[in-house]
Structure 1
Amino acid sequence: MSDTAQSASMGMDARPLTPVVGAEILGIDLGNVDDAQFAFIRQAFDRHAGLLFRGQDLSPEQLVAFSRRFGELDHAPIMENGQTAVPGLPEVYLVSNIKGPDGKEIGSLGAGEAVWHTDMSYLAAPPDISMLHAIEVPPAGGDTWLCGMNAAYNALPEELKRRVKGLRIKHDGTYNSGGYVRQGVTPTDDPRESPGTYHPVVIAHPNTGQPLLYLGRRRMAHIEGLDLAESEALLDELWSYATREENAYRHHWRIGDVLMWDNRATMHRRDPFDAASRRLMRRTQVKGALKPAAYAG
């Protein structure tokens, strides 16, 4: 029996969300995943770079347990309200605009737009995987977008592929995805002087070997060895391919959704929503196992 037939006989299925990124996984309860189911999830994740699981009734502890099967988890950073994490679970980060009894938001990132980015790519070994579980969702807005970076690379003209081969981009560490200056960082207007880490423009996926355009975020980026004007022009050209609609999946949230994405093979963003509506997501993040390596093909 083939792997596909065996999975179907076990009630599991992976249905692509777009031709280039994302799949919905059917027939699996993430609170009770056996080894065969996890092997199916792992294989589908490498193939599709983003996975959606609907109707998941998970406690924070169950979310952590499932996430940990992919590797060691990062501890949540200190949030804008001074909280560090869900009590007793330092791996869980709250993404929310809901205000607590003290009038402060219980989580981070509020109700505004989060621009296209790769999570924490300013680190030498950025996180491998990010995962969100929807607890409360607004009636409209707050959609999360994924774009496939293998598709973005494949869309580049051959001349542009040759031009960027061997180049590195500084992934800026000044701002978070909500546009806030990170704690302890002094902002500068010159991307050549900002804090961050240089990574290859095109990396190889460590599991599949696929070439991936690896951009991080546009703000304050700089291409090593180029003057500022030349770097800005080349970055604008690369970003024009990365964020095309045909490379993207737009996710409309429902309560109980779990959406996970490969931080190396995708970028993501979030639409704004009415600040008077409530939104609460629990997030976990798998630590980076390796530094991004240049694609040699």
Structure 2
Amino acid sequence: MSLSIRKLSPALGAEIFDIDLSQPLSDITASAIEKAWYEHSILLFRNQHLSDAELVAFSKHFGELDAPPIGTSNRYWVEGFPEVLVVSNVIENGVPIGNLGAKEVTWHSDMSYEEVPPIGSILYALEVPPVGGSTEFVNMYAALEHLPSELRRKVEHLSIKHDGSVNAAGDLRLGKQPVTDVVTCPGPIHPIVRTHPKTGRQALYIGRRPNAYVCGLPVPESEEIVNELWSRAIHPDWTWRLDWQVGDIVFWDNRCTMHRRDPFDPNSRRVMHRTQLKEKLPQPPIELTPDRVLESQAV
């Protein structure tokens, strides 16, 4: 299928036109969208009108859905739809209805603090503030490609520990303790350079800055490397900014992008619903017991 599509910037991203995501997608259309996603890393669909059931149905075309992350006090999901995270600053009856509030959200890749992070995120704008709250994305393929050769050689076989004690707004998560030692604090270890399983391209994967630690190095050396990676990764030539409109749906690849959000007036309302895609893990081989051998021979 040929999609109506245009690039959003030289760096990354594409907008897809003339499609109603509230309607069931054919396998051919879903496959074409997925192909465009791999090519552009971020897809934008404007003027959409979806229920949560329709958002979930659209998302499931691209894989199994992951559970929302733990927030500062709870998991903020939609009643009846545990796969749908609410991202909002709105407070009802003294209780936040969603995660992250109205503060700046710093650069990150979603849930890199998990052993198996989600591969992609789909964010749907229901209410947006008149000013602020824009989201900026960065192409991490380009970030890696533009590293000085000496730095790239230095990091391509190193790994970083990713901390999840605070969210991207800097707030301590429920049940977490402040980090006092980056060497001994808990957190999964991910390679700094990762290969995208679908595109075969390599990307820089640094997740989030707070409490990052390059494994096996003295802390001062780790800090030097991490600071240099971050200073080079966030470059205007490979970033793109979205000024949200109601009805926008953005579908991004967490394996080769990072994103951040501008702060906005907390008296304005911003309500987003998000789903995220699980990584498909390799299935262990089936052990051929005598019974299974007989079954396979019968087939």
Both proteins in one fold, TM over 0.5: yes
Partner of 1:191: 182
- Looking at structure 2, the residues matched to 183 and 172 of structure 1 have their Cα atoms a distance apart, in angstroms, of 14
Runs of 4+ in 1 over 6 A off after TM superposition: none
Q: Which amino acid aligns with 1:64?
A: V
- Looking at structure 2, the residues matched to 177 and 230 of structure 1 have their Cα atoms a distance apart, in angstroms, of 24
Deviation at 1:245, TM superposition (A): 1.1
Say which of 99, 107, 112 aligns to 2:98.
Answer: 107
Deviation at 1:122, TM superposition (A): 1.3
Alignment of 1:165-184 (within 5 A): 165-184=156-175
Deviation at 1:75, TM superposition (A): 2.2
Say which of 56, 61, 72 aligns to 2:53.
Answer: 61
Write the deviation string for residues 223-243 of structure 1: whole angstroms up to 9, x where unpaired: 011101111011111111211
Write the deviation string for residues 221-268 of structure 1: whole angstroms up to 9, x where unpaired: 000111011110111111112111111110000000001110111001
Partner of 2:222: 231
Partner of 1:295: none
Q: Does 2:248 correspond to 1:252? A: no
Q: Which amino acid aligns with 2:37?
A: F
Q: Does 2:38 correspond to 1:46? A: yes
Write the deviation string for residues 139-165 of structure 1: whole angstroms up to 9, x where unpaired: 010001110100100111111111112
**Does structure 1 retain, via aligned residues, the 8 Å contact 2:120–2:252?**
yes
How many residue pairs get aligned? The number is 281
Partner of 2:4: 13
Deviation at 1:83, TM superposition (A): 5.9
Write the deviation string for residues 66-86 of structure 1: whole angstroms up to 9, x where unpaired: 111111111224544646421
- Looking at structure 2, the residues matched to 134 and 202 of structure 1 have their Cα atoms a distance apart, in angstroms, of 32
- Looking at structure 2, the residues matched to 193 and 72 of structure 1 have their Cα atoms a distance apart, in angstroms, of 33
Deviation at 1:14, TM superposition (A): 2.1
- Looking at structure 2, the residues matched to 83 and 121 of structure 1 have their Cα atoms a distance apart, in angstroms, of 17
Gap change, CA 1:169 and 1:79, over 3 Å in 2 = closer
Say which of 197, 212, 234 aligns to 2:203.
Answer: 212
User: Which structure would you say has the larger Rg?
Assistant: 2
- Looking at structure 2, the residues matched to 80 and 122 of structure 1 have their Cα atoms a distance apart, in angstroms, of 15
- Looking at structure 1, the residues matched to 79 and 186 of structure 2 have their Cα atoms a distance apart, in angstroms, of 31
- Looking at structure 2, the residues matched to 253 and 34 of structure 1 have their Cα atoms a distance apart, in angstroms, of 28
TM-score (norm 1): 0.91
Partner of 1:70: 62
Gap change, CA 1:84 and 1:142, over 3 Å in 2 = closer
Deviation at 1:107, TM superposition (A): 0.9
**Does structure 2 retain, via aligned residues, the 8 Å contact 1:111–1:273?**
yes
- Looking at structure 1, the residues matched to 178 and 46 of structure 2 have their Cα atoms a distance apart, in angstroms, of 40
- Looking at structure 1, the residues matched to 103 and 7 of structure 2 have their Cα atoms a distance apart, in angstroms, of 29
Partner of 1:203: 194
Gap change, CA 1:251 and 1:42, over 3 Å in 2 = same
**Does structure 2 retain, via aligned residues, the 8 Å contact 1:149–1:212?**
yes
Gap change, CA 1:186 and 1:81, over 3 Å in 2 = closer
Q: Does 2:125 correspond to 1:134? A: yes
**Does structure 2 retain, via aligned residues, the 8 Å contact 1:122–1:196?**
yes
Unaligned stretches of 5+ in structure 2?
283-299
TM-score (norm 2): 0.90
RMSD: 1.5
